Amino acid sequence: MWTLLKLVVAGGVLLAGGGTAMAADPRHPVVQGYGAISPMPDAKERPDHALRYRVLFSVTKAPSAPDQANPGLEKVARFLNLLGADGVRPAPGDVAVIIYGPATLSVMTDAAYTDRTKAARNPNLPLIAALRAAGVSVRVCSQALVGNNIAPATVDKGVEIDVSGLTTMATLQLRGWALIPD
C-alpha cells in the first residue's frame, strides 16, 4: 500500500479512501508552480473524460516586462491544470503552443535573452520546461525568428521550429484541433 501511495503522490495525485481523487496541490494539479487555478467543485460545465483534447494555443503577446513569464504560456499551464483538476490528461503532444510576433523572444536561450533584453535570465524557460514535462509541444514560427532577428541557434533546445505560425495553425485546425488564441 505504501509503495502504491508513494508512486501516486509522485504523479501529483493522492488517492484517498473510497477512490476519491484529491490533488496534492489543488491550485497546480498538473503543472507545478504555473497556471494556478481556483477549484470550483460545483461548477456545471466540466472537462469531458470522453473527449480527446487536441488543442493549439497561439501565443503572440510579450510579457509586460522582460523579467516576467509570458502570460500566454501561463494560460497553457492553467488549461492543463483545469483539465487535470477533473482527472483529464491529454495525451503527450495533444496540446501544442505556437509562439510568434512579440512573444518570439520567449524561446531564446538565457544568454541570448539576457543579451537582447538585459534581464538576468529568460523567465520563460522554466515554464517551457514544465509545459514540455506535462506533454506540451512548444513551437516557434521560423518567420517570426527572422522578423525578430533571432538566430535559430539561440532558440532553447526544448522548442521546435515550425516553418510558420500561420501554417501550423491552419494545418492543425484542418486536422480537427481547437485553436485558443491569446
pLDDT interval class at 2 (50, 70, 90)? very low
pLDDT for residue 96: 98
Q: Most distant CA pair in the chain: distance in Å? A: 57
* Residues 102, 65 contacting (CB under 8 angstroms): no
Q: What is the pLDDT of residue 47?
A: 97
The domains located in the chain, with CATH, are: 51-181 (3.40.1260.10)
Report the distance separating Cα 158 and Cα 120, nearest Å: 20
138 touches 160 (CB < 8 A):
yes
pLDDT digits 0-9 by tens, 12-36: 333 333 333 444 688 999 999 999 9
The model's pLDDT over 30-72, given as tens digits with 9 standing for 90+, comes to 999 999 999 898 999 999 999 999 999 999 999 999 999 999 9
Nearest Cα neighbor of 165 from 182, 131, 147, 140 is: 140
Q: How confident is the model at residue 3 (pLDDT cuts 50, 70, 90)?
A: very low
**pLDDT digit string, tens, across residues 92-141:** 999 999 999 999 999 999 999 999 999 999 999 999 999 999 999 999 99
- Residue 124 is predicted with a pLDDT of 98
pTM: 0.86
Give pLDDT, residue 119.
97
CA distance 152 to 132: 19
What pLDDT score does 8 carry?
33
Query: 167-170: long-range contacts at Cβ-Cβ below 8 A with a sequence spacing of 24 or more?
Result: 168/56, 168/96, 168/98, 168/139, 168/141, 169/56, 169/58, 169/98
Position 25 scores a pLDDT of: 82
- 7 pLDDT exceeds 60? no
Grid cell, residue 64, equals 509586460
3-state secondary structure the chain: CHHHHHHHHHCCEEECHHHCEEECCCCCCCCCCCCCCCCCCCCCCCCCCCCCCCEEEEECCCCCCCCCCCHHHHHHHHHHHHHHHCCCCCCCCCEEEEECHHHHHHHECHHHHHHHHCCCCCCHHHHHHHHHHCCEEEEEEHHHHHHCCCCHHHECCCCEEECCHHHHHHHHHHCCCEEEEC
Q: How far is CA 43 from the centre of its chain?
A: 24
